[in-house]
Chain A
Amino acid sequence: MNSSMVIYEDEFRQIADICERLRRDTSAKAVFLIDKDGQLILATGQYAHLDTTALASLTAGNIAATGGLADLIGEREFSILFHEGEHDSLHISLVASQVILVVMFGEETSVGLVRLRVRKVNEELTKIVQELMQKAKNPGADSPFAEISDEDIDILFS
């Protein structure tokens, strides 16, 4: 039950390329990929001034809350959320019902273009995410924690 989401380097690179392409094609400021439990998978673009850990957690909370709302009215999920700000806006969408794609964009582009491009990359990302989920179900390698000792754990708290 308590299975992990695992990201490997190959998939990470593929996902990073797709997100960077999306950012360029939409002239967005930044693109983030976040797992549904609130862990940041990757960020690309101008994000150095942002607290990305908080952004990831709040986005996941947001998706979880709107998912609850969807359920209330008999929908499986709301796959797209859009938050419009005075200068910057957020386009948030679900990929394979498992990870969250966030595009942060300003006045240089339009929500229409972002939505169009997001829809295109969603298929590519879905494929990779589904492969990752499959891998996580049938892990080939042992847990990287299999070798750790009680001492290793104690050192963390010393």
Chain B
Amino acid sequence: MSFINYASREISCKIVYYGPGLCGKTTNLQYIYAKTNPEAKGKMISLATETDRTLFFDFLPLALGQIRGLKTRFQLYTVPGQVFYDASRKLILKGVDGVVFVADSQIDRLEANIESLDNLRSNLFEQGYDLDKLPYVIQYNKRDLPNVASVEELSELLNPNRVPEFSAVAPMGQGVFDTLKAVAKQVLVELRKGG
């Protein structure tokens, strides 16, 4: 649910990074944070365990600039990927405007990707959303690792509707901004339609 404030001429949209545990959701946000101009970003918040696993969410506010005199802000959230944090994941999806599914390209994580994508679909459904109608992109992360499935295979498995998809190596930044731009653009196009 985007938020428009005519008094301060601002619009805010919420983008959620979803995916299985250790797929690199937080790393995406960390890279964006590191590479964004200080004036365009707020503080990044990570509610994580002592071993740096996301406990509740990561949060990164970005101010991209103005469109027709309206300040455009994006609030990026990640969900905790571990299976048992499902209650938290549901909460973070509330009010979402766009979704990035970060898939782990390693062959032994294929099952985890499918499970997480099913979980995304059903958690969105519970909130009254349909993934097929939301701004949505997929990122195939960890392309630099040796035991990865091919992009074609991942696409076949995870992207039957052919939404925009990107190969990524998140710690190096490869594909990170392409992914963000693609989902942000879809969100803005959706707003143009009238939300």
Contacts and interface: CB of A to CB of B under 8 A. Distances in A.
B181 A157 contact: yes
Interface stretch (B88-96, B139-147, B148-156, B160-168): B88-96
Given A4-B3, A9-B6, A145-B191, A157 B64 contact: yes
A153 B7 contact: no
A142 B194 contact: yes
B44 to A, nearest CB: 9
A2 B131 CA distance: 12
Interface string A136-158: 00010011111110001101110
B116 to A, nearest CB: 20
A65 interface: yes
Contacts of A38: 14, 59, 75, 95
A143 B191 contact: yes
A143 to B, nearest CB: 5
Given A142-B194, A144-B70, A54 B91 contact: no
Contact of A54 (B1, B42, B92, B189): B42
B7 A8 contact: yes
A51 interface: yes
B1 A3 contact: yes
Given A7-B7, A61-B47, A64-B94, A53 B42 contact: yes
B88 A65 contact: yes
A9 B1 contact: no
A122 interface: no
Contact of B6 (A3, A8, A35, A54): A8
Nearest to B59: A57
Interface of B: 1-8, 11-12, 14, 42-43, 45, 47, 56-57, 59, 61, 64-65, 67-68, 70, 72, 75, 87-88, 90-92, 94-95, 97, 128-129, 133-134, 181, 184-185, 188-195
Interface of A: 1-9, 12-13, 35-39, 41-42, 51, 53-54, 57-58, 61, 64-65, 67-68, 139, 142-148, 152-153, 155-157
19 contacts: A2-B97, A5-B3, A7-B6, A12-B8, A36-B95, A39-B75, A53-B43, A53-B61, A54-B43, A61-B91, A64-B92, A65-B91, A142-B194, A143-B192, A145-B192, A152-B67, A153-B67, A156-B184, A157-B64
